[in-house]
Amino acid sequence: MPDVHHELVFFSGHVQGVGFRYSTMQVAKEFEVSGYVKNLADGRVQLEVEGAAKEVEDFLSALDERMHGYIRKTERVAGRRAPEFVGFTIK
């Protein structure tokens, strides 16, 4: 199977206890992406997502638009690799 676009994203701000993970999963259903979202002990949310580069970018833009008031900082690390995920989950 060919490599896919992959991003590891960390969100900071008021991102826990506000339905961020659930909203992320709902937005993911609108795009051809797979991966997971989870809370971190330091108060950030970690998102790992893969798919076609445009789908991942459009998904992240839609998520930013939906959760704009809660996100203070977004850190993204992008690359290409073999696909690892099937579907999108909350961890």
Whole-number pLDDT of residue 49: 98
Alpha helices in 13-79 (DSSP H): 20-28, 53-66
Structure confidence by residue, pLDDT tens digits, 38-82: 999 999 999 999 999 999 999 999 999 999 999 999 999 999 999
Asked if 57 and 65 count as a contact pair (C-beta separation under 8 A), the reply is no
Fold of 4-90: Alpha-Beta Plaits (3.30.70)
- Of 82, 72, 77, 86, nearest to 43 by C-alpha is 72
- Point out the residues that are catalytic: 21, 39
Domain boundaries, the chain: 4-90
Whole-number pLDDT of residue 1: 63
